[in-house]
Structure 1
Amino acid sequence: MKKLFKYIGKYWILLILSIILAGISVVLQLYVPVLFGNAIDEIVAAHNVDFTQMWIYLKQILLFVVIAAAAIWIMNLVNNRMTYHIVQDIRSQAIRHIQKLPLSYLDQHSTGDIVSRIIADTDILSDGLLLGFTQLFSGVVTVVVTLIFMFSKNVWITLMVILLTPLSFLVAKFISSRSFTMFKKQSETRGKQTALIEEMIGNQKVVKAFGYEDKASKRFDEINKELKEYSQKAVFYSSLTNPSTRFVNNIIYAAVALAGAFLIPLGALTVGGLSVLLSYANQYMKPFNDITSVITEMQNALACATRIFDLLEEPEEVNDSSEVLEKVDGNVDIDHVDFSYDKSKSLIEDFNLQVEPGMRIAIVGPTGCGKTTFINLLMRFYDVDSGKICIDGKPIDEISRHSLRKSFGMVLQDTWIKSGTVRENINFGKPDATDEEIIRAAKEAKSWDFIRRLPQGLDTVLHEDSISQGQKQLLCITRVMLCLPPMLILDEATSSIDTRTELQVQEAFDNLMKGRTSFVVAHRLSTIRNASLILVMKDGKIIEQGTHEELLKEGGFYSHLYNSQFQAVS
């Protein structure tokens, strides 16, 4: 709740307006019993009923009820506006925060779970906030004003009510603490379920190809069963709260009636006064009953809020400098770099490399040797554990990440297409590019042939499955061709393209790489024969380096890898 108040405070005008409206509605509703009590006393007066005065009271009652109803209606509108603005702010901050989180967090948490926190959990939070605002403001004002009115009628009965009230709190506290734990587990399990659904639907072709449908269904059933059990327990515990507190409150109500019955014969209280006290005792306990009746939604909302704030409080990427790279030459110096994802398992150890401007560096080696990790360090997706990487003599941890990454053009084996037009997918890194520039880049990347055959050309809207994997990769290459960055990183950039197109794209890359420092990760060694320097990596270390001819003459690990790719299969 303390964390939520940080967002609520931004809308303090709406908050104050809601409290004022709650106060107006509550005071008028609570004054109505006084008028009823006065009207009753007019009826039971000795041998005389003052109908004129009684009608005045009844008219006042009608007027106050109408005004109170209007105040409640406006208060609900204000609470709706405030609630949805708060949830909008939380969602906006969450998506901005995700952009600033280190990749290590995103690698360790499933996409489905993160999506569940931003979408489902904030929806549940908004429902709980709406109920909470409505009940809280009205409830607090009701309790305070009721006590004032009750003290004006009888001090001793009012004190008795106050002394018995903590029983209701203790019962609610005992039960709700257990329901909160269940709601938190329910929310976490819902995140797991969303992650599994996203995983299975997103990879449905693989699931079907390997006959994984039954196992996927069993995994879902297990999580679904877990979710059902937590949900049932959460609702069961929370449903006990309202009846339990109502039982305590009914005891308080009965105690007021009993005490009043003894005071009337003594002349310390009138019949009308007792009816007022009974009405106030009921009004006083109503906020507790109302809050406990919606405890399920509120506990669920707070459990979801915990997950949202866990995400929002994750530390962002640190040590980002404001320094910008200007006129990058492409001199890269890697000095005694160590890095590992898991600190108990070493990966890259004492990595050293000096790259002069315009050099084409090829990186080869078996799977898991650290090739992609090296690219991650170069782009500062991860920071080194020790040592340093310098661009044009400047350590990259002293350069802003945006400036560093803008200096590299990157094409990965894993392609990514956003939902949008072909134009929007190509000019992703250069939004102000003209159509002429886009078409030129598309022709160089050999993607123009299929783009111009699309229904609306550059204006064709693409989705994840609109085009083939090879066409996606060509669009990713086109992005880089459009930006013309000073340095290049190609990580199996032509892995999904047919051989004929690959040769054409390779020719375009050769032209693009002229005068640019380039890092090429390749499994097909035939594509890197012209590299200025080939680094052979194994177990996170450079075990060989040299040109293609030099490494073949050495007859070492590279020679073995190269020959094995062209060895005839017997």
Structure 2
Amino acid sequence: MASSEESNQPEIPDIEDAPVQGNEFSRIMKIYKRKWTFILAIFFSMCSGIAPQLMNVFFGDLLNAVSKPNFSKKDLNGAIINLMIITVVVIALLVINHAFRSQTNPEFMHDLREAIYSHILRMDISFFDKTSTGVLISRLSQDATLLFNIYIDKILTVALSITQAAGGLILSYITMWQVALPATVFVILCTVSYYIGDRVVTKLWEEFAQHSSKATSKAEEVITSFRTIRSFDNEMYETQQYGKVLDDVDAIFSKTSIAQGLKDSVILFFTNLMLPVFIGLGSYFIVEKPEMGYVSGDLVILLLSLLFATTGFTIVLSLSDDFKKARASAAKILKLLDLEPEVDQEKSGKKLKKDFVFQGKVEFRDVGFKYKTRDEWAVRHLSFTVEPGETVALIGESGCGKSTTLQLLQRFYEISEGQILIDDMDISKINPQDLRSMISVVPQGPVLFSMSIKDNIRYANPRATEEEVHKCAEIGNAHDFIMEMPDNYASRVQQTSLSGGQKQRICISRAILANTPILLLDEATAALDTESEQLVQQSLENFRKGKTAILVAHRLATVINADRIIVYKDGHVEEVGTHQELMEKGGLYSELVKFQLQ
């Protein structure tokens, strides 16, 4: 029995409000199961960053061999062989790096999405009441993809670029430090210029994206509302309004293009200035300071090393904004993963023995419940009993707690007050999975999955044979129309046009296959036409025999044959009896019936 409402209904945090903590990367990487692959990928990325510097050295040696006044063929052949060997090594490193990178990418995406997906499926129904589907899909798709692109792909790029930049600087100092020292200033200026320009351009592109989104939204609004626009002859007005939106897009695009051009021009200026300046400076030391021992090959090594250093630092800085976005996405994912369900569906409650048999007695004892998203009570002081094999109808005005009752019986929510018992056992003491294995539900809106009709029916029991599926479909009045389809039971639901009645009969066939002692029907025929309702009612009559059935309904034809009718008012039981007894009483039920007949 619940002691208080507050203890059973903690507030659900908003998973969109997720501040960055600073430890996102380390926590996300704990999800990755095959970390050794990632570590090897980083190692070979770093090797791939060092490899070009080795090629520079051997290429410089080749030039030095050729530039000697009395170079020998032996020296030349040796330099060529060395260059060929290092080229093969570099290619091998690049291939290995690509192989590990290709292996790491899908593995990380698989592990991350699986962790998010499995955690979402562990959450309580109340979590889904407050959290929009779009937010959860965004965690699974956009945020997971962004983390994959940044935390795996871009980190490997950073590992390569940092190694390449550091190796380039070190090699330039080893080769000709007198030129490398002033060249470092150029590298820093070039890198900082790129970083500043990139930040400005990025902000402008974000502003451009916002204006483009407004233009798209305006076009979508006009196209979807075209009948209204045409009825008022407002085509010209809407064209003018759309033109104004496009003017804003054009203006920001012009600013962005100018900023992009300036950024590229500055980088080109430093890059192009660096070559003649340091070629001249290096040549000076070679020609005018021969005692230093520098030769032309050293100058080539220096210039290529500086070029690699500049490129590496530029790439690293250009990714800074991407890593900020990744940390924000990681924070959102981690906040979702930090949420714990109120009830652990696997471990909570007592597991029942495999040979345990439910009789199907249901009892509500002074039950009270509030949804976390609402202030008012959904049900309060709710008490009634359903005997094994009895069919009971719940009836009342909309919002009086009928459907809530069925959800509480399935333990989709934890009650705030009272007890719910099945066969005199408190359902809070029963494992939720064992509890729901004894209950079949036919909802108002038929829920079918994008798979074959046979697999939709077998969803209740994947081990069911073809014969069992066909038998349940016959009881559910679905077999005949299924056999008229081109692929019969193999017909895919998403490719098949099914009526509401046909979909509902497939759902009933699925519930029949589950073969549980308790059946819950939540407005199962409310959205059907008369003919479809009759077929579904017949299916339910065939199925209900010998089972405890609780049905929620508005239509008189659905409830009139129930063993008992429980009339709800404001979340509690107002009247109980058969149709005849309640009509003779002249209370709320008779008023509802008279209103419906009118």
Q: TM-score, normalised by structure 1?
A: 0.77
Q: Which residue in the other structure is 1:146 paired with?
A: 168
Once the two structures are superposed, residues 429-487 of structure 1 have per-residue CA deviations (whole angstroms, 9 ceiling, x without a partner) of 12222333333322322222322323343333332652111100011111122222111
Once the two structures are superposed, residues 111-165 of structure 1 have per-residue CA deviations (whole angstroms, 9 ceiling, x without a partner) of 4554455345555655556752552232233234334434433567666667887
Give, in angstroms, the shift of residue 561 of structure 1.
1.0
Looking at structure 1, the residues matched to 72 and 495 of structure 2 have their Cα atoms a distance apart, in angstroms, of 80
Looking at structure 2, the residues matched to 524 and 295 of structure 1 have their Cα atoms a distance apart, in angstroms, of 62
Give the residue type in structure 1 aligned to 2:342: V
- The counterpart of 2:38, out of the listed 7, 15, 26, is 15
- The counterpart of 2:118, out of the listed 96, 99, 112, is 96
Give, in angstroms, the shift of residue 271 of structure 1.
4.5
- The counterpart of 2:350, out of the listed 323, 328, 343, is 323
Give, in angstroms, the shift of residue 524 of structure 1.
0.6
Q: Which residue in the other structure is 2:478 paired with?
A: 447
Once the two structures are superposed, residues 236-264 of structure 1 have per-residue CA deviations (whole angstroms, 9 ceiling, x without a partner) of 89998887777777888888668757766
- After superposition, residues 30-109 of structure 1 pair within 5 angstroms as 30-42=53-65, 48-50=70-72, 52-109=74-131
User: Given the superposition, is the C-alpha separation of residues 280 and 485 from structure 1 closer, same or farther in structure 2, using an over 3 Å criterion?
Assistant: same
**Is the deviation greater in 298-307 or in 345-354?**
298-307
Looking at structure 2, the residues matched to 304 and 184 of structure 1 have their Cα atoms a distance apart, in angstroms, of 19
Residue 466 of structure 2 is aligned to residue 435 of structure 1: yes
Once the two structures are superposed, residues 383-412 of structure 1 have per-residue CA deviations (whole angstroms, 9 ceiling, x without a partner) of 334444333344333333222222111001
> Can you give the 5+ residue segments of structure 1 that lack an aligned partner in the other structure?
201-206
Give, in angstroms, the shift of residue 18 of structure 1.
3.1
User: Given the superposition, is the C-alpha separation of residues 23 and 456 from structure 1 closer, same or farther in structure 2, using an over 3 Å criterion?
Assistant: closer
Give, in angstroms, the shift of residue 30 of structure 1.
0.8
Q: Which residue in the other structure is 1:365 paired with?
A: 396
Structure 2 counterpart SS, 1:418: coil
Give, in angstroms, the shift of residue 425 of structure 1.
1.6
Looking at structure 1, the residues matched to 555 and 529 of structure 2 have their Cα atoms a distance apart, in angstroms, of 13
User: Given the superposition, is the C-alpha separation of residues 338 and 166 from structure 1 closer, same or farther in structure 2, using an over 3 Å criterion?
Assistant: farther
What is the percent sequence identity of the aligned residues?
25
Q: Which residue in the other structure is 2:333 paired with?
A: 309
**Is the deviation greater in 118-127 or in 77-86?**
118-127
Q: Which residue in the other structure is 1:354 paired with?
A: 384
Structure 1 counterpart SS, 2:34: helix
Looking at structure 2, the residues matched to 425 and 357 of structure 1 have their Cα atoms a distance apart, in angstroms, of 31
Confirm or deny: 8 A CA contact 2:504 2:536 kept in the other structure.
no
Structure 2 counterpart SS, 1:493: coil
Looking at structure 2, the residues matched to 407 and 505 of structure 1 have their Cα atoms a distance apart, in angstroms, of 22
Give, in angstroms, the shift of residue 166 of structure 1.
6.7
- The counterpart of 2:364, out of the listed 308, 317, 333, is 333
Structure 2 counterpart SS, 1:415: coil
Structure 1 counterpart SS, 2:301: helix
Residue 420 of structure 2 is aligned to residue 389 of structure 1: yes
Give the residue type in structure 2 aligned to 1:73: V
Confirm or deny: 8 A CA contact 1:380 1:401 kept in the other structure.
yes
Give, in angstroms, the shift of residue 324 of structure 1.
2.9
Give, in angstroms, the shift of residue 489 of structure 1.
0.8
User: Given the superposition, is the C-alpha separation of residues 175 and 559 from structure 1 closer, same or farther in structure 2, using an over 3 Å criterion?
Assistant: farther
Count of residues in Structure 1 that have an aligned counterpart in Structure 2: 542
User: Given the superposition, is the C-alpha separation of residues 291 and 435 from structure 1 closer, same or farther in structure 2, using an over 3 Å criterion?
Assistant: same
- After superposition, residues 82-481 of structure 1 pair within 5 angstroms as 82-111=104-133, 114-115=136-137, 117-119=139-141, 122=144, 126-127=148-149, 131-153=153-175, 168=191, 172=195, 176=199, 179=202, 265=288, 267-268=291-292, 270-272=294-296, 273-291=298-316, 298=322, 302=326, 305-306=329-330, 309=333, 313=337, 315-320=339-344, 321=348, 323-325=350-352, 326-329=356-359, 330-343=361-374, 345-358=375-388, 359-463=390-494, 465-481=496-512
Give the residue type in structure 2 aligned to 1:101: M
Confirm or deny: 8 A CA contact 1:29 1:64 kept in the other structure.
no
Structure 1 counterpart SS, 2:397: coil
Give the residue type in structure 2 aligned to 1:408: I
Looking at structure 2, the residues matched to 434 and 451 of structure 1 have their Cα atoms a distance apart, in angstroms, of 17
Looking at structure 1, the residues matched to 25 and 207 of structure 2 have their Cα atoms a distance apart, in angstroms, of 18
Confirm or deny: 8 A CA contact 2:469 2:513 kept in the other structure.
yes
Structure 1 counterpart SS, 2:414: coil
Relative contact order, higher structure (CA 8 A, sep 6+):
2
Looking at structure 2, the residues matched to 23 and 8 of structure 1 have their Cα atoms a distance apart, in angstroms, of 24
Looking at structure 1, the residues matched to 109 and 402 of structure 2 have their Cα atoms a distance apart, in angstroms, of 42
Looking at structure 2, the residues matched to 438 and 183 of structure 1 have their Cα atoms a distance apart, in angstroms, of 55
Give the residue type in structure 2 aligned to 1:399: I
Confirm or deny: 8 A CA contact 1:7 1:86 kept in the other structure.
no
Looking at structure 1, the residues matched to 169 and 31 of structure 2 have their Cα atoms a distance apart, in angstroms, of 28
> Can you give the 5+ residue segments of structure 2 that lack an aligned partner in the other structure?
1-23, 232-237
Residue 514 of structure 2 is aligned to residue 489 of structure 1: no
User: Given the superposition, is the C-alpha separation of residues 303 and 476 from structure 1 closer, same or farther in structure 2, using an over 3 Å criterion?
Assistant: same
User: Given the superposition, is the C-alpha separation of residues 11 and 505 from structure 1 closer, same or farther in structure 2, using an over 3 Å criterion?
Assistant: closer
Give, in angstroms, the shift of residue 549 of structure 1.
3.4
Confirm or deny: 8 A CA contact 1:176 1:238 kept in the other structure.
no
Give the residue type in structure 2 aligned to 1:63: I
Looking at structure 1, the residues matched to 229 and 415 of structure 2 have their Cα atoms a distance apart, in angstroms, of 41
Looking at structure 2, the residues matched to 560 and 452 of structure 1 have their Cα atoms a distance apart, in angstroms, of 44
Confirm or deny: 8 A CA contact 2:33 2:111 kept in the other structure.
no
**Is the deviation greater in 386-395 or in 466-475?**
386-395
User: Given the superposition, is the C-alpha separation of residues 339 and 286 from structure 1 closer, same or farther in structure 2, using an over 3 Å criterion?
Assistant: same
Confirm or deny: 8 A CA contact 1:246 1:289 kept in the other structure.
no
User: Given the superposition, is the C-alpha separation of residues 180 and 349 from structure 1 closer, same or farther in structure 2, using an over 3 Å criterion?
Assistant: farther
User: Given the superposition, is the C-alpha separation of residues 52 and 512 from structure 1 closer, same or farther in structure 2, using an over 3 Å criterion?
Assistant: closer
